[in-house]
Structure 1
Amino acid sequence: MAPLSVLQAGAGYFAAFHAEAWLRLPGARLAGLADPVPGKAEALATRLAGADGGPEHGPEGGVATGTDAAAMLAALRPDILDIVAPPAAHLGLIRAALAAPRGLRVVVCQKPFCAGADEARAAVDLAESAGVPLVVHENFRFQPWHRAAKALINAGEIGVPRQATFRLRPGDGRGPRAYLDRQPYFQTMERFLVHETAVHWIDVFRFLFGPVAAVFADLRRLNPAIAGEDAGFILMRHAGGVRTLFDGNRLLDHAADNPRLTMGELIVEGDGGALTLDGFGALGLRRTGERAATEAAGGWPLDGFGGDCVGALQAHVIAHLAEGAALENTGRDYLAVIDVEAAVYRSAETGAVVETPR
């Protein structure tokens, strides 16, 4: 089977992780990079080329670059459109993809997904009407420690799971220059901790324990240099009975060589034991009654982002197209994450427990 061709729309900070992964994944060919800012796609292509003469992808061995994603869709006719652009651009890019001369086989779209719930639902409806799979690039569930934790829970290693807590501690939110060196738009987001960050763990906890039935949230802003909330607690009641807690604080740190590897620490507790994840990516298992944990899984890739979760999600999409493997994080399924996010903000505003749509 010929490699699947990819057009990536977006060439900003996080887009580099996407492009780098496409370049090294078997079965994929990065055909083009598009970004509306002149020179931005070219700069990313040059950076990816490094000292070895350039990536051997794209037309005639190179990655095509440009500012007009719709025109590049028509010219390159890729199998996959990977959207790594700001949320306000998502719906327009999805419309352009579905109207391309030769229909795409799949659209992948980063989170936050579209500019609000109404646009997200419109995008899902359009893709389903066109018969084109739409996948939200929610990559944290593809981090290797979360996949291993899911396998250990399903194997009964901690008995019946009862509760879980994730403590977000990246330590990057202090002072007037918080976030400016990497993602400066973080400073102006009026909804920040939940909309940009906690959605990762809303989805991870859904992946581990099933749908969220109700939430209670207490959010606050600690750094006056930013517009949105940067700390808070989110307590979730899952339909199956498990309780999960997201305890987030972007000003505080945790023990780690790279605070952005795991972004914090996880504990999953059951009636037969507990799984723990530390900031070095070590996943431990302590059974009930034991005094210490033993290593349960490890050996993760430490380059790329977050255990190479970007590459893992992209490989998942390739497996769907090449082998028919079922897709996770379809647009329709991801609407549930958006509903939980809305319930979190409503709970923080009202001080009440808020049920999520069934």
Structure 2
Amino acid sequence: MPDSERIAELRPSYQDELARGTGRFFLPARTDCPWCLGTDLRRKFRTTDLIQGKPGEFVLDRCRGCGHIFQNPRLSQEGLDFYYRDFYDGLGAETTAKMFEGNGSKKRFRRSARALRRVALPGRWLDVGTSLGHFCATAKEVLPDTRFDGLDMGEGVELAAKEGRIEEAYRGLFVDLAEEMAGSYDAVSMFHYLEHTLDPHRELAAAHRALAPGGHLLIEVPDPESLSGRLLGRLWLPWFQPQHLNMVPMGNLCRRLRELGFTVEVAERRDAHIPADLVCATWFLYDRLLPRDDAPWLPRRPGRAARAVRFALVWAFLPVLIAVYGLDQLLNPLVRRTRFSNAYRVIARRNG
């Protein structure tokens, strides 16, 4: 079915939901930090959905005590369902699959697998937040004797098992399923997963439960202390509103892991950097000037003239985007060695 027909088919249900307003998608605002429970909070910024363009405003607050940055007020489960819909599945499924199948993603997946291989050779590996299982399929090239399982909320994890990218699929919340996995895994990975979760403390405890003694937890997340985030402000891709609920500084994460009974073996920023900050910020800025693209959360389809103007302007701007993308790649060797790196990696061993 062409996208225009799928969008038209979905529009009535989206409009019914939006007619009731977006305020109902949020929980009451917190007066304390979800990480340390401190009450000295400062507004960081207010923004909109720069990725899909769904209606709504989102606020990030920063705890002055521990540096934790979090969405406040936070989306409820109903809100999360609304803003995730048609991103990783539905209308967005094909785009998401192409992103994970690209050479850039595969290179990053191989680096991550090699990072763990330097400290351990796991027999069983659980990838939490695996989506379509593309990390597992690529990591198998680096660790051919490792069995990879995957866990996610969406239907993609079941498709990953069906297509052979993972051995076993768990569909649901990690904090609910960890008990049945107790001590089963030599490695658990969370690649750009923890920032999406409602309660990172419970997710880390679940990882401790699922790991066997001596097993390793591999985490990669956006770095809220990155100088790129300060420079680009709300245009910095890793803020990724409204999906990113909690942004954990590296020091906070390492301390919590030690409290849970882990030994931190690796904590670094260099290898986890994803060179896309400038091109994404450029696109977000330019996209504000364009007529809207058709989407089911818009009340009606943009007119033919508006669609033609957008199409022409996007193609006219494409050389600029390509040039800025090239600049991201050119600067990558330098940026990843500085505090402009946009992500960090932690590898921790579960104590015996």
Tell whether the structures are fold-level matches, with TM greater than 0.5.
no
Write 1 or 2 for the structure with the bigger share of helix.
2
Q: Going by fraction, where is strand more abundant, 1 or 2?
A: 1
TM-score w.r.t. the length of structure 2 is 0.36
